[in-house]
Amino acid sequence: MTTIEEEVSSTGGEVPWHLSGNNAPVFDEVTVTNLEVKGTIPPELTGRYFRNGANPQSGISDHWFLGDGMIHGIEISGGKANWYRNRYVRTPMFANPDKDRMELYLDLETMGFNYEVGVANTSVLGHGGRIFALEEGSFPYELSSELDTLGSHDFGGKLVTAMTAHPKVCAETGELLMFGYSSLPPYLVYHRISAEGELLQSEEITVGGPTMMHDFSITRNHSIFLDLPAIFDMELAMQGGMPIRWSDDYPSRFGIMPRSGSDTDVKWFDVDPCYVFHTLNSYEDGDEIIVNGCRLRELWRDTSDIGIGATDDPNPDDAPMMWEWRFNTQTGSVTEKQIDDRGSEFPRIPDSLVGLPNRYGYCLSMGDAGINGVGEGGAILKYDLANGGTSDVHNFPAGHFPGEPSFVPAAGASNEDDGYLMTYVYAGDTDTSYLVILDASNMGTDPVAEIHLPQRVPTGFHGNWIADN
């Protein structure tokens, strides 16, 4: 394993938090087949757990969100861990590490974007027999099951916008619902893709301006857009770094549209000013649409740092917290309710319930540990939304910090929480990592299994279990 032996920054000063500790990148791409397993891997698990994250090959980046994409994967079958691999996604940015992204991305003569240019560093998706590495400013990049980069993918030339890193796969139809946002008109375009991977529909959606729409949500019959006041700034983009700033003049609103509808069908609902990086889920209840997600009071007013964990003494009011929004499609009324006063992020539910009523949600605790690994140890929360958002917790040992929990159903599951949670955990005492498998129905118990790795998996973003069937 290669590590950063000396902490440096692009300005020669103190290393930024997103490049220090377990946020620092690793550089060696390895394949390891002799993995230590503690506990028992459930025999029904056959597939691969892949997780993406920003891992600048130079060791330096201006912001946590901007580094080259690196996928960390473990293959499991027959109760065994067959291998661990980590691979960079081979994008034009990876091939041109000394180039500024805007130099490759934006044609100043035509003011058009080259959507093959990106870092593919945010998420991993399995759909239509393909595996994609995603980021929200470019086309998806297709990967092999062993993490080789196969190239960018534009759905047969039909995709002419960027693709969000947070598409939704309908639990009932297998449709892939997604969007692309842009700093230039059209600011938002919605796409609907068949279960087989054919792009069926693209619709321009009118929003107030160049908003950063990181996530959206769906129900059985609707798609839900989050038009919120984090606004693109071209002047900042040309200077490098994160080109998004908060605007007090940009209204906060949610838009609800029939899944196969168009711009004229969108019903907009004003909400209190906020930002939502990640929704948990949405579903229909009579005339109401219920949305749950992790709400921030505001974002990037004076700095593009991520508030919680970015300072030694973060303000609890700056932490994302679980909220509920209820939108009545007949009366136009809106009800907003805070579910929890603890910080939580990276919310997940079973894939089989996306867009359908769900009782449970699983989140990474954003308490004392934050995203910067500060505190005794990390935790994963399990919300019971049928009981007012009461929660169970799995606390990790001191110095051990998990990431986003992915739900995997158990064989013969009869209840919603019959299954497992998977995530990488950083072990600060050994400066290594392991994949933990937890019992989602009994969060307080010891892990079902731990698959230990000989190297560190840096703090990252989103992952998924991609089953072989």
**H or E segment to which residue 236 belongs:** helix 234-239
* Bridge partners, 327 (sequence order): 289, 334
DSSP letter string over 318-353?
GS-EEEEEEEETTT--EEEEEEEEEEEEEEE--GGG
pLDDT in tens, 283-321: 999 999 999 999 999 988 876 666 443 344 445 567 899
Instruction: Report which DSSP code applies to 237.
Output: H
**Hey, where are the domains in the chain?**
32-358, 359-458
- Contacts for 352 with CB less than 8 Å, ≥ 6 apart: 171, 409
Phi, psi of 237 (to 5 degrees): -60, -40
Task: Round to whole Å and give the CA distance between 354 and 170.
Answer: 6
Task: Round to whole Å and give the CA distance between 368 and 375.
Answer: 5
The SS3 call for residue 371 is coil
The confidence score (pLDDT) of residue 36 equals: 96
Task: Round to whole Å and give the CA distance between 395 and 443.
Answer: 9
* Bridge partners, 337 (sequence order): 324
Fold of the 32-358 domain: Methylamine Dehydrogenase; Chain H (2.130.10)
> Which whole number is the average pLDDT over 99-111?
81
DSSP letter string over 226-269?
EE-SEEE-HHHHHHSS--EEE-TTSPPEEEEEETT--GGGPEEE
Q: What is the maximum alpha-carbon separation in the chain?
A: 60
Task: Of 148-157, 272-281, 308-317, 322-331, give the lowest mean pLDDT range.
Answer: 308-317
> Which whole number is the average pLDDT over 166-193?
96
Instruction: Report which DSSP code applies to 284.
Output: E
Task: Round to whole Å and give the CA distance between 197 and 176.
Answer: 8
Amino acid letter at 124? Answer: V
Task: Of 4-13, 69-78, 227-236, 400-409, give the lowest mean pLDDT range.
Answer: 4-13
> Which whole number is the average pLDDT over 12-19?
79
pLDDT in tens, 199-221: 999 999 999 999 999 999 999 99
pLDDT in tens, 127-170: 999 999 999 999 999 999 999 999 999 999 999 999 999 999 99
Q: Is the pLDDT of residue 444 over 50?
A: yes
The confidence score (pLDDT) of residue 373 equals: 46
**How far, in whole angstroms, is CA 449 from its chain's centroid?**
24
